[in-house]
Structure 1
Amino acid sequence: MELIQALIIDNPLVAFTTLLLVSLTLPPLFEQLRLPGLVGLLVAGVLLGPSGIGLLDPDGEIEKLFSDIGKVYLMFVAALEIDLREFSRNRDRSMIFGGLTFAIPLSGGILLGRLTGLDWPSAVLIGSLLASHTLLAYPIVMRLGASRNEAVTVTVGATIFTDIAALLILAVCVAVQRGSFSPSMLALKLTVLGIYATAVLFGLDWVGKLYFRCTGDEQGNKFLFILLAVFLSAMGAQLIQVDKVIGAFLAGLAVNDVVGDGPVKEKVEFFGGVLFIPFFFVCMGLLLDVPVFLEALTDRLGLTVGIVLTLITTKFLAAAIAGLVFRYSWMQILTMWSLSLPQVAATLAAALVGLQVGLITPPIFNTVIVLMLVTSLLGSIATSHFASNLPRPHPETLVSDDNPWGEWLESDPATATPFTVVVPVANPLTQRYLIEMAALIANHEGGHIVPLTIAPARVHMDDAKLLKALSKGQKLLKAAESISHEWGAKATPKIRIDDDVAAGINRSAREQNAQLIVMGWSPTEGLRAKLFGTLIDSVFGATHCPVVVTRLRTEPVHMHRILIPVKILTPQTIRTIRFGQVFADTHQASIMLLHVSDRRTPKDQLQSFRASLRDVVQADPQIRHTIKCVRHDDPGTVILKASRHTDLVILRSMRRRTAGGLAVSDVTHQVLKGLTCSVMLFGEPYT
């Protein structure tokens, strides 16, 4: 028996394999049950830990390591996902609401803690746990098209204030608990912390930009630099005797501006979202003592209910005061309240630190877990209900958004460069349809196409493999030029030798001052694509112009019925519709705009959205169009059903976003897997 224990229970490899298996299988199962995936991870931790079969040990080296790494990574991702541009846009109001939604729950938590007999440090920590919030429901707001509403952007900006303030209070409480507290020591600690924060925020930003300039577009180096920055900042925090989660959060804010939105950020989030952060939630489950947890729901139910009600009440009070001061509607106020309810990232990280240093007891820790579960569910449900009733921005305000290439359809012929379409060709079996499509658009815009092949670079320019690639490229370009002439389009073939195919495409497009890149499909599934990215990801990550990725089943000129699903109206959505109109006009096709909304969407809001869509498409009244608005709980199914009667579906490329480190799927991904007709994916450069 001891041999079995040594081989299984005390084996780090077994623990690591178990964590991987749990992270892979349980979140999807719980999401099928309409429960957050992180609930499944917590349940797995309980079942595999001391309260269950004992396969994992919360005091084991591998478990402690991944718990610490996951905690650090969770706070880093929480900071990385904060939209600094939205914060700066409404900085004053974000600071006001941040102060209210921090101070009021903090006061309520302290009062509750003192009433239940906790000492001052523990009561203050309880208050700080309630004061922060996690934007768990933000993907819901984006899906509903309300992310540009001022109430939403103010709430997003307030996250910076609440999280930083909560972590500062955590640092003070830990210092008091360790007996190193005095007014002079507090002043010294805050001074050191201020110097450290300044060094991290400005130092990492400067070093990061300098390093990225020196290393170019090498994503591997960028990824490693970011990882080093996170854990170096966490170590620095420990050196000044504050918790490492503070360093991780500051590092996330520092590299937020440096890394921007792009493939590197996606890889950083993916790496943490599938590995470290799920491991952290499993390890949190290991710390749950089932009898004590049940006690929190029975004998200590009063404390549990008190904490939950205090949070709900104080968060609502903060949102109501801010909303009345800002003269927001009640729907905006309730949306602010529901967005600020979920307590996941900073709350759990701080609760774990408090448990480890003895600031909170296991029963209170279990109560915090209950708080997390309740607020995660309630916040998501409430946001879905209230945000759906927020007014949507008018199309005119979206079209006028400042962007470098937005209205490329309306460029002035007197000042604009000739319209150029770059078409990378690599497969002789699919290049005909690609060239035909590019020729149609180029002719419509009075421009030309640039068929392009990339030959992988070699050390020696007389390398046999390079010569073979050049020969193959020349044949492809000859065929492409011939097809272009068939359609009366001017073609300027280009062949390029480059170390990287995606970089070669982007550099050539920039050199040609292209307005559009048209390329064929490449695999987007599998672990390799997720870890190392795809050609499409890499092109999107560095291009300066729109990219259309195609999977064409028939000649473009025969695509007479075009379907464009529209979930929300944003500048990106309107540009996708504009592209569809241009392509339809090249061969007198018709377009259908399909909007699928939630069943609970009010009828007047649906009619308003239909009117907005009509305003968008009537910018070019010559193109035949229909608008269809449907209320249904499964947009993917509706789109796939409608696609059976169309020749082409045009979708907008959307990045997968994360919430609390766990990936959130999008309808585009579901539709792409089920479509049998031709499809075009209209993508834009990352900004």
Structure 2
Amino acid sequence: MDKLLHHISEAFSTPITNPVLVFTVILTIILISPIILRPIKVPGIIGLILFGVLLGPHGLNWLSKIDKVTLEGSGVDAIDLFSTIGLLYIMFIAGLELDMNEFKKTKNKSLLFGFFTFIIPIMIGFPVCYYLLNYDFLPSILIASMFATHTLVTYPIVNSYGISKHEAVAITIGGTILTDTAVLIILAVVTGASQGALNQEFWVTLGVSFTIFLFIMFGVIPRIAKWFFQRIEAEKTAHYIFVLAVVFFAAFLSELAGLEPIIGAFVAGLALNKLIPHSSALMNRIEFIGNAIFIPFFLISVGMIVDVSVLTKGPMALIIAGTLTLVAVTGKFLAATATQLVFKYTKNQRNLIFGLSNAHAAATLAIIMVGYEKEIIDENVLNGTIVLILVTCIIASIVTENASKKIVMEGHQHDTHKEHVEEHEEQILIPIANLANMEPILDFATLIKSKKSHHPLHILSVVPDNEEAERNTLNARKNLDSMVRYASGSETEVEILTTLDHNIGSGIGRTSKELFADCIILGWPSATSFIEKIVGEKAESILNRTNTNLFMCRLDKPFLSHKSITVFVPPLAESETGFVYWMEKILRLGQELSLPVMYVCGTRTQRAIETLLDQLKSSVPAGFSNYEDWDNIYGLATFSNTDSLLVFVSARYGEVSYRDSLDGLARRVGRYYQNQNLILIFPSRVENQHIDDYENVQMAPIFRKISREIGNMFNKEK
């Protein structure tokens, strides 16, 4: 018994040395921190740092970076290893999540704001640190550059208010790229100078190595990544391991080039930005593992370094903390005010820019940690920076919340056009025919689904209503379970539906009406016999029995093989009820895949599309090619290329934009473009405005089909 008690007391002696217990304590902190601090509105990033302070060597001394807590045989401290990974992870995700299309759209204004938010805090910070706080030249430069950074901690707030596409938000995002990159380069120069290596050779070496580094990261890595994602498409685990390997390779390469590893991680995010859609399963894995393990480890380890007692050892520590916080807030406010004056923004827009750019977190921590480890700055600055982060995050949250509310009340939210579908109520139905083709269709649905909708994706199987219906229903549900597992990889919620019906089209149509579905996503129609083509193939049966937007997809190649999206829009498509809906979905797809969209259409349709693009304030690059001879569908081939995702907009029979040349479009384009991904869109229509009540036999369509099929027998289509 004594031996047991001795063993227990030894295990719980402080600091804790048992690696299993250390990990248990840290995981418990990660678990309970948001639960405890959420009610008092303390940001999660601050909560983890505070727990690190409380349980670290300068607090209760439960956790300590000591030699006994090691990875066996490596001699590397486990907490230190995980925190290093977390620091790199923060910078990688920052580069990965930047909307490059939004940056390109507002690049001139972003450049000016980036200049203001970089230079103004430095111009204030350097004299204060050098003359007022009496720091040497290099520490003053480093601390001043820290003031110039900002992290978009409050971005989720503007997103929740529906103003994420507001111009003030866009230029703030663009400015983040510029100011953080510039500060990271300053960090490389300062660390080089601190080691006494700031001579001509240093600059030449830095210039050459930085150029080679950028060439490898932007010229070589994306090509390798694209090849890997295409060739190893089925191995989802391998994708994540590959991305992780790229991050650490980039960090190591950056170190070889004389830069800090965090620059490499940030550049790795930019390099892979276009290859990893923001709504993809891979992106979800990256964010999930980072936010669950690595980043919290880093934040806790930061808290472990902080010695709160320093703040009580004299007025100097408090003076430094207060001064740093005041300078940081003032610098960002003046930068936002300068931007307001130049672009004639309102007070609320100014406050929105200030709120978004005032929060100092990831990059600030990264810079100060490097400076502290290199002994460029002292404990006072490190502790003062923790206070700065806490105060600026709280101020940023309050200011952004108030500014967002007022801008919405002014009517500046991006949903200024009349919505056909309320985004938060969107319902998507995916009827299943072939399980082998379902994964890319589910990926497509995840990419275009409204992020505001709380409804799951509905996956439907229509079971024939016969004597084996019960057994077939059980088999259908069992088969669809694999789709649930696949969807869980991207945290996409799905609902499995099975229905009994003698007719597949009837079953889909009935379920669509019961769900009030806004969109139906189907696989590409398979080849059918002559008789089926005449009296009602499945695809046309579904079209006739539904009124909602319908997407037919053939997605045999991975999305990252595309360099653009080409949309063929027939005359008067802008007059269809579902015009706004499918336009939004194509733009969302372009944004997720970071691809430009080329519209092939007539002059009148082009004007309507341009008007809608202005209303939507989309950041996706758009171009136009004129085509007027829509009775000759094969003439569209001159506008397509093998690197494009081809989208054909059609119409149901009897609708305003329908024409005979669109009849049987799926069969014809499917045969002509055999090696390309295709999407065929049928916009929604107003219910009961068509003569489709006799779905199985429609006289006019039948005669039209008979004449066309007989004609095809004598005139083979090319």
TM-score (norm 1): 0.61
- 1:236 and 1:5 map into 2 onto residues whose CA distance is 43
Which residue in 2 is equivalent to 1:105? 121
Q: Shift of the alpha carbon at 1:53?
A: 2.6
Q: Deviations over 1:156-200 (max 9, x none)?
A: 111111111111111111111112111331232133123212321
Letter of the aligned partner of 1:23 in structure 2?
Answer: I
Letter of the structure 2 residue corresponding to residue 286 of structure 1: M
Give deviations 1:247-300, integer Å, cap 9, x for gaps: 11111111111112212111101110010001111101100112114458x543
Give the corresponding residue for 1:348: 365
Kindly report the root-mean-square deviation, in angstroms, between the aligned alpha carbons of the 2 structures: 4.1
Separation of aligned partners in 2, 1:227 and 1:70: 12
1:75 to 91, 95, 116: 91
Please say if residues 399 and 571 of structure 1, whose CA atoms lie closer than 8 Å, have aligned partners that are also in contact. no
| 1:50-199 equivalence runs, <5 A | 50-60=57-67, 61-115=77-131, 116-199=133-216
CA shift in 2, pair 1:72/1:472, >3 Å:
closer
Deviations 1:401-442 (A, max 9, x none): 9xxxxxx99xxxxxxxxx99625799xxxxxxxxxxxxxxxx
**Residue 279 of structure 1 corresponds to which residue in structure 2?**
297
Distance (Å, rounded) in 1 between the aligned partners of 2:525 and 2:386: 52
Asked whether 1:422 is paired with 2:434, we answer no
| 2-structure distance, mates of 1:186, 1:400 | 58
Contact 2:505/2:539, CA 8 A, preserved across alignment = no
* 1:58 alignment partner, SS class: coil
- Deviation, 1:360, is 0.7
- CA offset digits 1:423-479 (Å, max 9, x no partner): 5799xxxxxxxxxxxxxxxxxxxxxx98468xxxxxxxxxxxx9x9699879x9997
- SS of equivalent residue, structure 1 residue 389: helix
Query: Do the aligned residues in 1 keep the contact of 2:461 with 2:499 (CA within 8 Å)?
Result: no
1:308 is aligned to 325
- Which letter maps to 2:306? L
The corresponding residue for 1:383 is 400
1:67 partner letter: S
Alpha carbons of structure 1 residues 16 and 160: separation in structure 2 relative to 1, 3 Å: same
The answer to whether 1:33 aligns with 2:40 is yes
Are residues 1:318 and 2:335 paired? yes
Unpaired runs of 5+ residues, structure 2, are: 1-5, 68-76, 436-458, 464-471, 481-495, 512-519, 527-537, 544-557, 561-582, 589-718
CA separation in 2, counterparts of 1:235 and 1:122?
25
> Contact 2:247/2:265 (CA < 8 Å) preserved in 1?
yes
Q: Residue 253 of structure 1 corresponds to which residue in structure 2? A: 270
Cα deviation, residue 220, structure 1 = 1.7
Q: Does 1:480 align with 2:489?
A: no
Q: Report the Cα distance in structure 2 between the residues aligned to 1:216 and 1:237, rounded to whole angstroms.
A: 29
TM-fit CA distance, 1:217:
4.9
Q: 1:483 to 1:345 in 2, by over 3 A?
A: same
Whether 1:43 aligns to 2:50 is yes
Partner in structure 2 of residue 15 of structure 1: 22
2:431, 2:508 within 8 Å by CA — same for their partners in 1? Answer: no
Change (3 A) 1:26 1:424: farther
Identify if the C-alpha distance between structure 1 residues 152 and 5 changes in structure 2 by more than 3 Å, giving closer, same or farther. same
Residue 514 of structure 2 corresponds to none
Aligned to 1:366: 383
Distance of 2:240 and 2:42 partners within structure 1: 32
Q: State the AA in 1 paired with 2:90.
A: L
CA 1:424–1:308 in 2, change beyond 3 Å: closer, same or farther?
farther
Query: Partner residue of 1:500?
Result: none
TM superposition shift of 1:480: 3.0
> Corresponding residue for 2:679?
none
Answer whether contact 2:163 2:414 (CA < 8 A) is retained: no
Structure 1 portions without partners, runs of 5+: 402-407, 410-418, 427-448, 454-465, 492-504, 517-540, 544-569, 576-687
Distance 1:294 1:205, change over 3 A: farther
Aligned partners of 2:333, 2:105: CA distance in 1, in Å?
24
- Deviation of 1:136 after TM superposition, in Å, equals 0.4
Distance 2:206 2:181 in 1: 15
Deviations 1:570-627 (A, max 9, x none): 957x99xxxxxxxxxxxxxxxxxxxxxxxxxxxxxxxxxxxxxxxxxxxxxxxxxxxx
Task: Return the alpha-carbon distance in structure 2 between the equivalents of residues 184 and 471 of structure 1.
Answer: 68
Give the Cα separation in 2 of the matches to 1:479 and 1:292. Answer: 69
SS in structure 2 of the partner of residue 316 of structure 1 = helix
Q: Contact 1:43 / 1:285 at 8 angstroms: preserved in 2?
A: yes
Work out whether 1:226 is the aligned partner of 2:243. yes
Change (3 A) 1:450 1:114: closer
Residues 276, 282 of structure 2: 8 Å contact kept: yes
Matching residue within 254, 258, 266 for 2:284? 266
1:174 aligned partner, one-letter code: T
TM-score (norm 2): 0.58
User: Structure 2: how far apart are the matches of 1:368 and 1:23?
Assistant: 22
In the TM superposition, residue 303 of structure 1 has moved relative to its aligned partner by 2.1
User: Could you say which structure has the larger radius of gyration?
Assistant: 2
Deviations 1:469-507 (A, max 9, x none): 699879x9997333768779699xxxxxxxxxxxxx988
- In the alignment, the residues of structure 2 paired with residue 50 and residue 478 of structure 1 have an alpha-carbon distance, to the nearest angstrom, of 59
1:330 shift after superposition:
1.8
Q: CA deviation at 1:11?
A: 2.4
- What pairs with 1:435-584 in structure 2 (closer than 5 Å)? 451=461, 480-482=500-502, 508=523
Determine if contact 1:295/1:301 at 8 Å carries over to the other structure.
no
Q: Are residues 506 and 69 of structure 1, via their aligned partners in 2, closer, same or farther at CA, if it must alter by over 3 Å? A: farther
- Residues 198, 105 of structure 1: CA spacing in aligned structure 2 closer, same or farther, 3 A cutoff? farther
Question: CA offsets, 1:30-49, max 9 Å, x none?
Answer: 11221112222112212221
Residue 322 of structure 1 deviates from its aligned partner by 1.8
Question: 3-state SS of the aligned residue for 2:431?
Answer: strand
